Amino acid sequence: MAKSPFPSLVPILPSQPTHLSDSMVDMTTFAKNCKSTVIPGLRYRNAKTMIDWLCEAFGFEKQVVYAGPGDIVMHAQLTFGNGMIMIGSVDNRTAASKLFKQPDEIGGAETQSPSLIVSDIDAIYARAKHAGAKMVTDLEEKQQGGKAFTCTDPEGHIWHVGTYDPWELQQS
C-alpha cells in the first residue's frame, strides 16, 4: 500500500467492483482512455477577456474558441499540459446557463475550483501576481508536499496552483 504524505491520514484506494442491477460493474471502465477524463468548465461574463487573462496569468493555450453573436463565447477549450478547461460566456443561452451563478452573485463563494499542477511554482506565482490575481493563500510549503498558492481571477473564480501531484501517490 502506498504511504500517505499525511502522517495522520490513510489513503482510500480504488474500490472493488460494485453491484449494479445484479451485474458486476467496474467503475473505471466508464472512463475513456484519453488525455484527460475530467475537464472543468467555467462561465465568465467577459469570457474573451478572461481567456486572454488565463493564458497570460497561468500559461494556458487556446485550443479552440467558438464565438457567438456579439462578444459571446459559446464554447472554448484551453489546454495546460495534458489538462484542459472549457469556458463559455455566462449569457451564451444554453439550457444550463440559468443554473450557474457567478462568485460575486453569491458573496464571493465558489462551489468548485480547478487545481493546476505545475513544474515551476515560483515562475507561475510571479506571472499570476503580475496579471493581477488576488492571492487567497500566499505561496507556501504544504503538509502533503510541494509548494502551492490559491488565488482568484478577475471574475472571482478560485484557482489552486501547486507542485504536489496526486497521481504520484498511486505510483509510489
pLDDT at residue 33, rounded to an integer? 79
pLDDT at residue 92, rounded to an integer? 84
Residues of the chain with pLDDT below 70 are 1-29, 169-172
**Which pTM was predicted?**
0.78
pLDDT at residue 98, rounded to an integer? 82
Domains, the chain:
36-96+104-171 (3.10.180.10)
pLDDT at residue 13, rounded to an integer? 58
> At which residue does the C-alpha cell 480504488 appear?
14
pLDDT at residue 167, rounded to an integer? 81
Give the 3-state secondary structure of the chain.
CCCCCCCCCCCCCCCCCEEECCEEECHHHHCCCCCCCCCCEEEECCHHHHHHHHHHHHCCEEEEEEECCCCCEEEEEEEECCEEEEEEECCCCCCCHHHCCCHHHHCCCCCCCCEEECCCHHHHHHHHHHCCCEEEEEEEECCCCCEEEEEECCCCCEEEEECCCCHHHHHC
pLDDT at residue 32, rounded to an integer? 78
pLDDT at residue 144, rounded to an integer? 82
